[in-house]
Chains A and B, each alone.
Chain A
Amino acid sequence: MSTREKVGWGIGGLLIIVYCLFPIAWIVSLSFKSSADISNGEFLPTTATSENYDTILTGDAAELFLPALRNSFGICLIATALACLLAMFAAYAIARLDFRGKKLILSTALAVAIFPVISIVTPLFNLWREIGLYDTWLGLILPYLSLTLPISIWTLSAFFREIPWEMEQAAQVDGATPWQAFRKVIVPLAAPGVFTTAIIAFFLAWNDFVYGISLTSTSASRPVPAALGLFTGASQFESPTGPIAAAAVIVTIPVVVLVLIFQRRIVAGLTNGAVKG
């Protein structure tokens, strides 16, 4: 590559970074504006203030935001853990065993992944109210499995296929018990795949809005995206823009931290399951 080409591609790279981070920078900047400053028509606040963070963490909006944050973490972590556990067994069977129905399971996962979420909401809304699951954690964890399970099965199957399983036998030949062989050889090889899958599944659950807004009605189970959607209508402040921005920043932080630490693995997980020939 000539120097000119290098500079060209470098500028392209910088443009991508600006493209990706600009709206994030904007919402961060907005979250530090005081309520009088919101309409200043500028990108940056005139003077930075933390009043919006005070509102959502200790002030008026705290009782809307903090329970939602707790619900989101709890529900998403449980839905992710359940999906990974179920998917681990399924992916082991798909990668390792020879049986008819492999295609059926993978096709079902594909079909569930492309399923229009809103189509399930109507019947669930009705059913959950009848059996008492409306506005409960379990009432969200179950439908969240429709988001987390298919991608977990896919991604894990792709990861498990690349594990050199013969090493387990090799360890047993060398005198390890089956349990030792499994724990010392297979678990360390499989763990990164399981971990990556968990992150991707967690993103999907964390992002949910449709279930959250339709199947909850109080802070008993309402997750953050749904609470954000309701800030505008339900709360009493003059302008909810600042508090929404602050809440948006707080829920974006965990995601950004995960991305920064595990970027290489996440990309491998996303594309492995999807486009490997």
Chain B
Amino acid sequence: MTAIQDRPAAPTAPKHAASDKSRSEARLAWMLAGPAFAVMLLVTAYPILQAFYESLFDYRLTDPANRSFTGLTNYGVILTDPVWWDAFGVTVLITVVTVAVELVLGFALALVMVQALKGLRPVLRAAILIPYAVITVVSAFAWQFAFAPDSGFVNSWFSFLGVAPDTDWFGSPGSAIFVICLAEIWKTTPFISLLLLAGLAQVPEVLQEAAKVDGATWWQRMRKVTIPNMKAAIMVALLFRTLDAFRVFDSVYVMTAGANGTEVLSFLAYRQTIARLEIGLGSAVSVLLFISVVLICALFVKGFKVDLSQARGE
């Protein structure tokens, strides 16, 4: 706290002092921000480099004596194994489905929140924060128990649609992934809707009025005025949720533990390292997952021209 008082005094000799001032200001800034910066690197950059190093070895914890350098062999093993590609496919499927549904649903929620009566607004805001704040594992259990034949109500509630009372939703890939997606969508749509709500607030009211005067219908105004003006907010929300969805782990662990064709990439990495103690292979999966995330990010930034400085509030 004391550092805050150390701001340099007013310069006496303008020209020289200006550069002195900016230099000392930069020094102070790095003294303040340095520790946070260093900690961030320490907890992420260092481990991922370590993971890359370990991925070059054939190394099992149960058999440390036979640790040997094998170069990129682990990557070859993984990328030619259908296990990786199945997990990759499931991960992409979950990501695409959840993000698409969340975007539409989140937009609808944001529109309702904008129009809601003043008195209802705080209630809505509190309600919408609850799924966001609830632990993912808790949400996963809630949905799993609701669908499980021995503890749920879904099978009896939807029997009029022809759902058998003993339907095992987690027994086949399609229905299991459906329930996983439901849980993910429920939990994370509120976050998207809050970002979109903030984006909606930035659409100039004047434009809306002008379009209205010109006789544009609600749908035309939405398409030609609202959405183009909040494109940045939509893109930022999309990017965050895509990366988040791609890392899906908790729901899968709780609901199926990766069984019945529901294994995702995060779970594959977890299973290799923690369950099978294959440090070399597990590290390689981790590095590949990391590269996938970087590629998605690059795709958004270059392909869709997402301006991340917008996301940082610069």
* Number of interchain pairs (Cβ within 8 Å): 334
**Are A119 and B269 in contact (CB-based, < 8 A)?**
yes
**Are B116 and A150 in contact (CB-based, < 8 A)?**
no
A residues 176-194 in Cβ contact with B at 8 Å: 178-179, 182, 186
Q: Which of B76-84, B95-103, B196-204, B220-228 contacts A (4 or more CB under 8 A)?
A: B196-204
Partner of A27, one of B109, B122, B142: B142
3 smallest CB-CB distances across A and B, nearest first, come from A90-B36, A271-B198, A99-B29
Seen from chain B, the residues whose Cβ lies within 8 Å of a Cβ on chain A are 1, 3-5, 22, 25-26, 28-30, 32-33, 35-37, 39-41, 43-44, 47-48, 50-51, 54, 61, 109, 112-113, 115-117, 120, 122-139, 141-143, 145-146, 150-153, 155-157, 165, 186, 190-191, 194-195, 197-199, 202, 232-233, 236-237, 240, 243, 246-247, 249-250, 253-254, 266, 269-270, 272-274, 279, 282-283, 285-287, 289-290, 293, 297, 308-314
Please give the distance in Å from A45's CB to the nearest CB on chain B.
Answer: 11
**Residues in chain B near residue A150, CB distance under 8 A:** 40
**Are B135 and A210 in contact (CB-based, < 8 A)?**
no
The 8 A CB mask of A146-189 against B (1 = contact, 0 = none) is: 10011001100110010000000000000000110010001000
Is residue A48 contacting chain B, with contact meaning CB distance below 8 A?
A: no
The 8 A CB mask of A131-154 against B (1 = contact, 0 = none) is: 000000000001101100110011
**Are A275 and B310 in contact (CB-based, < 8 A)?**
yes
Partner of B129, one of A12, A93, A182, A259: A259
* Separation of A209 and B257 alpha carbons in the complex (Å): 14
Known: A13-B116, A41-B153. A118 touches B249 (CB 8 A): yes
**Residues in chain B near residue A229, CB distance under 8 A:** 137, 253-254
Partner of B115, one of A9, A20, A97, A207: A9
Show 12 A/B contacts (Cβ-Cβ < 8 Å), sorted by A.
A12-B116, A13-B123, A13-B124, A21-B127, A24-B130, A97-B32, A98-B26, A99-B30, A207-B135, A209-B250, A273-B313, A275-B313
**Residues in chain A near residue B35, CB distance under 8 A:** 86, 89-90
Closest chain A residue to B239 by CB distance?
Answer: A114
Closest chain B residue to A178 by CB distance?
Answer: B5
Main DSSP-derived SS at the A contact region: helix
**Are B250 and A263 in contact (CB-based, < 8 A)?**
no
Is residue A198 contacting chain B, with contact meaning CB distance below 8 A?
A: no
Closest chain B residue to A268 by CB distance?
Answer: B198
Closest chain B residue to A39 by CB distance?
Answer: B150
**Residues in chain B near residue A110, CB distance under 8 A:** 308, 311-312
**Are B36 and A277 in contact (CB-based, < 8 A)?**
no
* Separation of A86 and B151 alpha carbons in the complex (Å): 46
* Separation of A5 and B114 alpha carbons in the complex (Å): 13
* Separation of A146 and B38 alpha carbons in the complex (Å): 11
Partner of B145, one of A15, A86, A245, A271: A245
Partner of B40, one of A108, A127, A266: A108
Closest chain A residue to B59 by CB distance?
Answer: A126
**Are B274 and A121 in contact (CB-based, < 8 A)?**
yes
Count of A interface residues, CB-CB < 8 Å? 110
**Are A106 and B314 in contact (CB-based, < 8 A)?**
yes
Known: A30-B145, A119-B287, A122-B279. A149 touches B151 (CB 8 A): no
**Residues in chain B near residue A228, CB distance under 8 A:** 137-138, 141
**Are A120 and B153 in contact (CB-based, < 8 A)?**
no
**Are A108 and B143 in contact (CB-based, < 8 A)?**
no
Please give the distance in Å from A79's CB to the nearest CB on chain B.
Answer: 11
